[in-house]
Amino acid sequence: MKDQIKLSRKRCVSFCTAFSYDLTALANAIKRKDYEIKLSRDVLHVKHLKKFYNIFFFQQGCFVCWGLSRRQEQKWVKYVIMFSRDPIPIIESDFFSFQYDNETSIYTHERFKLDIITLESDHSQCKLAISYGLAKSIKLESFEDAIQETVKTNNTLPIEIARFGTISLSKKAIFKRIGEIFLARSSITLNSEILDTPEFFWRNPNLEPFYIMTNKFLDIPIRVTALNQKLDVLQELLDILNSQLQHRHSTFLEIIIIILILVEILISLLLHI
């Protein structure tokens, strides 16, 4: 069956478009007769009753589409902006093709270079379990890109200190860099719960193997470790910039003290003339 894959299989695409979504407002906005809506604490399931596609919106600013056309996907990308908190400038996406087979699995088709999801049934709970993994992966990708850009912008600072013993940036520029690094780091810290196993699987342990399978295929454990290492790099950059500011401040105080001593000596000399 796997060797007979056709390129016309249905699409499964994950998107990361924002820091988070207002799922309640989104659910209220799309309540129509053609949709079946199911809202839980961290996910909104939208099922079209006539076109038979599924979308899972996750609170952390991601959603996963099953069975939509490329045009339909882009309509939802634009529509969800109204319910987004802090939309990201570059939208992340990941494409899969899915079909139905005798067992649920994920593999890469060597001939077509496609990531294929096979499902043993059309049960929405199975799709949701896999979607949790897909959403985590695309959110991680957003984090990875943000951290990489921050590290790239600041990677010359340690070299500059090693060569010249100081940073050429102004005090204002250093404060700005500190703010940028802090925001990049805190955005991940505030979303750290997405790196844990969702509560959904505490209530549905029979579906957790699908989630684990997805995480393994997408190398999520390895990527989380790498992400934590990059966070450590950002913390080191913060420490470097803070120490540079403290050094400048102490140097400034020393100069002030020297000037005051010189003024005191000068006044003392003038009084004795």
User: DSSP H helical segments within the chain, as ranges?
Assistant: 23-29, 70-79, 124-154, 156-164, 171-190, 200-203, 208-217, 220-271
Distances in Å between the Cα of 150 and the Cα atoms of 43, 48, 93, 155, 201 are 30, 40, 21, 8, 34
| pTM of the full structure | 0.78
Cα dihedral 30, 34, 36, 37 in deg (nearest 10):
0
Distances in Å between the Cα of 130 and the Cα atoms of 12, 74, 127, 154 are 11, 21, 5, 37
What DSSP character marks residue 22? Answer: -
Q: pLDDT tens digits for the chain (273 residues)?
A: 444 444 447 999 999 999 899 999 999 999 877 889 999 988 999 999 888 899 999 999 999 999 999 999 999 999 999 999 989 988 999 999 999 988 999 999 877 788 999 999 888 999 999 999 999 999 999 888 888 887 787 777 777 777 877 777 777 777 777 777 777 776 666 565 666 788 899 999 999 999 999 999 999 888 888 887 877 777 777 777 777 777 666 777 778 888 888 888 888 877 776
Q: Count the residues in the chain.
A: 273
